[in-house]
Amino acid sequence: MHNIDSIHNVTTLPLGEGRLEVVCGPMFSGKTEELLRRVRRAVIAHQPTLIIKPATDTRYAIDEVVSHDKNAMPSKVVKNSRDILNSLEVDGKMALVVAIDEAQFFDDELPEVCNELANRGLRVIVAGLDLDFTGKPFGCMPQLLALAEEVTKLHAVCMETGRAAHFSHRIAGGDNTIELGEKDRYVPLARHAFVVFRKKENSK
Protein backbone atom coordinates (compact mmCIF):
# COMPACT_ATOMS: atom_id res chain seq x y z
CA MET A 1 0.00 0.00 0.00
CA HIS A 2 1.20 3.49 -0.83
CA ASN A 3 1.46 6.02 1.93
CA ILE A 4 -0.61 9.01 0.75
CA ASP A 5 1.81 11.43 2.48
CA SER A 6 4.73 10.17 0.44
CA ILE A 7 2.69 10.40 -2.78
CA HIS A 8 2.01 14.08 -2.14
CA ASN A 9 5.45 14.95 -0.84
CA VAL A 10 6.39 17.77 -3.22
CA THR A 11 10.10 17.37 -2.55
CA THR A 12 10.00 14.05 -4.40
CA LEU A 13 8.40 15.62 -7.46
CA PRO A 14 10.54 16.68 -10.41
CA LEU A 15 10.66 20.36 -11.32
CA GLY A 16 8.54 20.12 -14.46
CA GLU A 17 5.26 18.54 -15.40
CA GLY A 18 6.59 15.31 -16.89
CA ARG A 19 4.11 14.43 -19.59
CA LEU A 20 3.87 13.35 -23.21
CA GLU A 21 1.43 15.05 -25.59
CA VAL A 22 0.92 13.91 -29.18
CA VAL A 23 -0.63 16.04 -31.92
CA CYS A 24 -1.42 14.03 -35.06
CA GLY A 25 -3.48 14.09 -38.24
CA PRO A 26 -2.96 14.27 -42.02
CA MET A 27 -0.97 16.86 -43.94
CA PHE A 28 -2.39 20.40 -43.70
CA SER A 29 -4.37 19.56 -40.54
CA GLY A 30 -2.52 22.21 -38.50
CA LYS A 31 -0.15 19.98 -36.48
CA THR A 32 2.76 22.40 -36.77
CA GLU A 33 0.48 25.38 -36.04
CA GLU A 34 -0.74 23.63 -32.88
CA LEU A 35 2.80 22.65 -31.85
CA LEU A 36 3.96 26.26 -32.25
CA ARG A 37 0.90 27.55 -30.35
CA ARG A 38 1.76 25.34 -27.37
CA VAL A 39 5.42 26.37 -27.59
CA ARG A 40 4.55 30.10 -27.62
CA ARG A 41 2.49 29.70 -24.44
CA ALA A 42 5.32 27.81 -22.72
CA VAL A 43 7.73 30.60 -23.68
CA ILE A 44 5.30 33.19 -22.23
CA ALA A 45 5.42 31.17 -19.00
CA HIS A 46 9.27 31.51 -19.07
CA GLN A 47 9.77 27.78 -19.49
CA PRO A 48 13.00 26.97 -21.35
CA THR A 49 11.61 25.45 -24.54
CA LEU A 50 13.36 23.56 -27.27
CA ILE A 51 11.95 22.82 -30.74
CA ILE A 52 13.40 19.82 -32.55
CA LYS A 53 12.96 18.54 -36.05
CA PRO A 54 14.50 15.63 -37.94
CA ALA A 55 17.29 16.29 -40.45
CA THR A 56 15.06 14.78 -43.17
CA ASP A 57 12.61 17.69 -43.16
CA THR A 58 14.20 20.40 -45.26
CA ARG A 59 11.05 21.70 -46.95
CA TYR A 60 11.02 25.36 -45.95
CA ALA A 61 14.13 26.02 -43.88
CA ILE A 62 17.01 24.04 -42.42
CA ASP A 63 16.84 25.37 -38.86
CA GLU A 64 13.25 26.50 -38.46
CA VAL A 65 9.94 24.76 -37.96
CA VAL A 66 7.55 26.33 -40.47
CA SER A 67 3.82 25.68 -40.84
CA HIS A 68 1.97 25.74 -44.15
CA ASP A 69 0.68 29.22 -43.34
CA LYS A 70 4.32 30.31 -42.91
CA ASN A 71 4.41 30.57 -39.11
CA ALA A 72 7.99 29.88 -38.06
CA MET A 73 10.18 29.35 -34.99
CA PRO A 74 13.86 28.43 -34.69
CA SER A 75 14.57 24.74 -34.17
CA LYS A 76 17.42 22.35 -33.53
CA VAL A 77 17.99 19.76 -36.24
CA VAL A 78 18.67 16.25 -35.00
CA LYS A 79 19.68 13.16 -37.00
CA ASN A 80 18.86 10.36 -34.57
CA SER A 81 16.30 10.39 -31.79
CA ARG A 82 19.00 9.42 -29.21
CA ASP A 83 20.75 12.73 -30.02
CA ILE A 84 17.79 14.58 -28.46
CA LEU A 85 18.97 13.39 -25.01
CA ASN A 86 22.26 15.27 -25.58
CA SER A 87 20.70 18.45 -27.02
CA LEU A 88 18.60 19.61 -24.11
CA GLU A 89 20.24 22.97 -23.48
CA VAL A 90 18.44 26.12 -24.56
CA ASP A 91 19.99 29.57 -23.95
CA GLY A 92 22.28 28.08 -21.28
CA LYS A 93 19.43 26.41 -19.38
CA MET A 94 18.08 22.87 -19.35
CA ALA A 95 14.86 22.62 -21.33
CA LEU A 96 11.63 22.02 -19.43
CA VAL A 97 9.58 21.72 -22.60
CA VAL A 98 10.66 19.80 -25.70
CA ALA A 99 8.58 20.09 -28.88
CA ILE A 100 9.32 17.64 -31.68
CA ASP A 101 7.85 18.13 -35.17
CA GLU A 102 7.57 15.56 -37.99
CA ALA A 103 8.01 12.72 -35.51
CA GLN A 104 7.11 10.10 -38.13
CA PHE A 105 10.48 10.68 -39.81
CA PHE A 106 12.47 9.67 -36.72
CA ASP A 107 13.85 6.19 -35.98
CA ASP A 108 12.17 3.55 -33.77
CA GLU A 109 13.85 4.80 -30.60
CA LEU A 110 11.88 8.05 -30.46
CA PRO A 111 9.06 6.67 -28.23
CA GLU A 112 11.63 5.44 -25.68
CA VAL A 113 13.47 8.77 -25.79
CA CYS A 114 10.23 10.76 -25.30
CA ASN A 115 9.19 8.49 -22.45
CA GLU A 116 12.59 8.96 -20.79
CA LEU A 117 12.30 12.77 -21.09
CA ALA A 118 8.78 12.75 -19.62
CA ASN A 119 9.98 10.50 -16.77
CA ARG A 120 12.71 13.06 -16.03
CA GLY A 121 10.01 15.72 -15.61
CA LEU A 122 9.98 17.35 -19.03
CA ARG A 123 6.84 18.23 -20.94
CA VAL A 124 7.23 16.58 -24.34
CA ILE A 125 5.02 17.70 -27.23
CA VAL A 126 5.24 15.59 -30.36
CA ALA A 127 3.60 16.35 -33.71
CA GLY A 128 3.48 13.89 -36.59
CA LEU A 129 1.53 12.15 -39.31
CA ASP A 130 -0.38 9.23 -37.82
CA LEU A 131 -0.90 7.61 -41.25
CA ASP A 132 1.29 7.29 -44.34
CA PHE A 133 0.03 7.94 -47.86
CA THR A 134 -1.36 4.40 -48.12
CA GLY A 135 -3.41 4.83 -44.94
CA LYS A 136 -1.13 2.67 -42.73
CA PRO A 137 0.18 3.77 -39.30
CA PHE A 138 3.37 5.78 -39.86
CA GLY A 139 6.71 4.71 -38.30
CA CYS A 140 6.86 5.01 -34.51
CA MET A 141 3.64 7.07 -34.22
CA PRO A 142 1.52 4.15 -32.87
CA GLN A 143 3.95 3.69 -29.93
CA LEU A 144 3.96 7.42 -29.22
CA LEU A 145 0.15 7.53 -29.27
CA ALA A 146 0.02 4.66 -26.79
CA LEU A 147 2.55 6.22 -24.41
CA ALA A 148 1.06 9.74 -24.44
CA GLU A 149 -1.02 11.18 -21.58
CA GLU A 150 -2.82 13.34 -24.12
CA VAL A 151 -3.57 12.79 -27.81
CA THR A 152 -4.98 15.43 -30.15
CA LYS A 153 -6.21 14.25 -33.54
CA LEU A 154 -6.56 17.12 -36.00
CA HIS A 155 -8.24 17.12 -39.41
CA ALA A 156 -7.68 19.04 -42.63
CA VAL A 157 -10.38 20.06 -45.12
CA CYS A 158 -11.04 17.26 -47.63
CA MET A 159 -10.32 18.70 -51.08
CA GLU A 160 -12.92 16.40 -52.69
CA THR A 161 -15.84 16.52 -50.27
CA GLY A 162 -15.19 19.44 -47.91
CA ARG A 163 -15.51 17.01 -44.98
CA ALA A 164 -12.99 16.43 -42.20
CA ALA A 165 -9.93 14.87 -43.85
CA HIS A 166 -8.10 12.11 -41.96
CA PHE A 167 -5.91 10.86 -44.84
CA SER A 168 -3.00 12.26 -46.88
CA HIS A 169 -3.38 11.12 -50.49
CA ARG A 170 -0.27 11.28 -52.67
CA ILE A 171 -0.96 12.72 -56.10
CA ALA A 172 2.63 12.70 -57.41
CA GLY A 173 5.98 11.12 -56.53
CA GLY A 174 7.13 7.53 -56.11
CA ASP A 175 6.13 4.66 -53.85
CA ASN A 176 8.56 5.35 -50.98
CA THR A 177 6.89 5.86 -47.61
CA ILE A 178 8.98 8.99 -47.05
CA GLU A 179 8.53 11.49 -49.86
CA LEU A 180 8.76 15.15 -48.92
CA GLY A 181 6.18 17.33 -50.54
CA GLU A 182 3.58 20.01 -50.43
CA LYS A 183 0.33 20.65 -52.27
CA ASP A 184 2.07 19.50 -55.44
CA ARG A 185 2.35 15.98 -53.99
CA TYR A 186 -0.33 15.51 -51.33
CA VAL A 187 -4.00 16.24 -50.93
CA PRO A 188 -5.96 15.73 -47.68
CA LEU A 189 -9.02 13.52 -48.12
CA ALA A 190 -11.89 12.20 -46.00
CA ARG A 191 -12.32 8.41 -45.80
CA HIS A 192 -14.70 7.81 -48.69
CA ALA A 193 -12.73 9.92 -51.17
CA PHE A 194 -9.47 8.31 -49.99
CA VAL A 195 -10.85 4.79 -50.48
CA VAL A 196 -12.01 5.65 -54.02
CA PHE A 197 -8.61 7.14 -54.94
CA ARG A 198 -6.68 4.21 -53.42
CA LYS A 199 -8.80 1.71 -55.41
CA LYS A 200 -8.04 3.63 -58.62
CA GLU A 201 -4.34 3.67 -57.68
CA ASN A 202 -4.25 -0.08 -57.00
CA SER A 203 -6.04 -1.02 -60.22
CA LYS A 204 -3.46 0.80 -62.38
- Binding segment for Mg ion (CB under 5 A), chosen from 1-9, 32-40, 75-83, 147-155, is 32-40
How far, in Å, CA of 60 to CA of 90, rounded? 23
The CA-atom distances, in angstroms, between 154 and each of 40, 142, 184, 194 are 19, 16, 21, 17
Residue 122 engages ligand ADP in binding (rule: CB under 6 A)? no
How far, in Å, CA of 135 to CA of 131, rounded? 5
The yes-or-no answer on residue 102 being catalytic is: yes
Residue 167 engages ligand ADP in binding (rule: CB under 6 A)? no
Residue 32 engages Mg ion in binding (rule: CB under 5 A)? yes
Q: Dihedral of the CA atoms 152, 158, 161, 163 (nearest 10)? A: 20
Q: Are 110 and 101 in contact, with CB atoms under 8 Å apart?
A: no
Residues 3-42 that bind ligand ADP (CB under 6 A): 25, 27-33
Residues 64-93 that bind ligand ADP (CB under 6 A): 67-69
The CB-of-183 to ligand ADP minimum distance in angstroms stands at 7
The CB-of-60 to ligand ADP minimum distance in angstroms stands at 9
Residue 75 engages Mg ion in binding (rule: CB under 5 A)? no
Q: Give the residue, chosen from 77, 157, 164, 171, that forms a contact with ligand ADP under the rule CB under 6 A.
A: 157
Residue 68, contacted partner among ligand ADP, Mg ion, none, CB below 5-8 A by kind:
ligand ADP
Of the candidates 100, 118, 111, 94, the one whose C-alpha atom is nearest the C-alpha of residue 36 is: 100
Residue 147, contacted partner among Mg ion, ligand ADP, none, CB below 5-8 A by kind:
none
- Which one from 102, 112, 150, 201 is the annotated catalytic residue? 102
Residue 29 engages Mg ion in binding (rule: CB under 5 A)? no
What DSSP line would sit under 84-120, residue for residue?
GGG--EETTEE-SEEEE--GGGS-TTHHHHHHHHHHT
Of the candidates 193, 116, 141, 111, the one whose C-alpha atom is nearest the C-alpha of residue 31 is: 141
- Chain residues binding ligand ADP by CB under 6 A are 25, 27-33, 67-69, 156-157, 159, 188
- Chain residues binding Mg ion by CB under 5 A are 31-32
- Please identify every residue annotated as catalytic: 102
